[in-house]
């Protein structure tokens, strides 16, 4: 699962659960989408396959607003750095500030992916009692094991960092 797919699956889950009180912001690095003539991830097709249509005036760009019929909350896709990969304002007054990562290829790829996300949260997440920093990675047995283990780490607990596992079917497990 790519990083953009993980981020978008999270956003979709929160739109459909009704837990988001505002439009959800998903910031995606353009290099994860396309370089020159090589397309790595077709956002417009992915969103369409999941029932989300582009609803802004610029139909030629992948950035913009997407909405699913029957849901008021929109997914706003941009490519701004420094704002987290997914930002979700929740009905309970909290905000999820999520750094998504794909699992690096090779043995033990979960370690560098999850450590990178933790580092980004430690240096970039707003220091606000209502902001919940979250590491989001695709589910596999190792990411599950590390999430369980690291969520018990005192330093990670003191930083308030949580873990979210994203399944290929769109389910999410919040640890």
Whole-structure pTM value: 0.94
Q: What integer pLDDT is reported at residue 33 of this predicted model?
A: 84
For residue 20, the 8-state DSSP code is B
The torsion region of residue 48 among left (phi > 0), alpha (psi -120 to 50) and beta comes to alpha
| Strand pairing category for 52-54 and 38-39 | unpaired
- Alpha helices by DSSP H, the chain: 3-17, 43-49, 110-124, 141-150, 154-159
Residue 102 DSSP symbol = P
CA-based nearest residue to 3, from 89, 128, 102, 85: 102
Q: Indicate whether 172 pLDDT > 90.
A: yes
Task: Report the DSSP beta bridge partners of residue 163.
Answer: 135
Are the C-beta atoms of 101 and 137 separated by less than 8 Å?
yes
**What confidence tens digit (pLDDT) does each residue in 56-110 have?**
888 788 999 999 999 999 999 999 988 999 999 999 999 999 999 999 887 889 9
Tell me the average pLDDT across 21-29. Answer: 96
Provide the 10 A C-beta neighbour count for residue 167.
14
Distance CA 39, CA 33 (A): 6
């Amino acid at each position: 699962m790519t990083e953009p797919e993980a981020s978008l699956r999270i956003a979709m889950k929160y739109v459909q659960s009704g837990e988001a009180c505002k439009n959800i912001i998903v910031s995606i690095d353009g290099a994860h989408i396309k370089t020159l003539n090589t397309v790595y991830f077709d956002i417009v097709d992915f969103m369409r396959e999941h029932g989300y249509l582009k609803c802004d005036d610029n139909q030629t760009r992948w950035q913009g607003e997407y909405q699913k019929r029957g849901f008021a909350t929109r997914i706003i896709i941009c490519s701004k750095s420094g704002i987290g990969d997914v930002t979700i304002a929740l009905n309970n007054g909290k905000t999820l500030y999520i750094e998504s990562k794909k699992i690096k290829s090779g043995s033990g790829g979960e370690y560098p992916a999850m450590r990178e996300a933790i580092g980004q949260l430690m240096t970039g997440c707003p220091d606000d009692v209502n902001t919940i920093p979250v590491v989001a990675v695709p589910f596999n047995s190792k990411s599950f094991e590390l999430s369980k283990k690291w969520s018990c780490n005192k330093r990670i607990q003191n930083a308030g960092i949580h873990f979210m596992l994203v399944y290929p079917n769109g389910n999410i497990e919040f640890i």
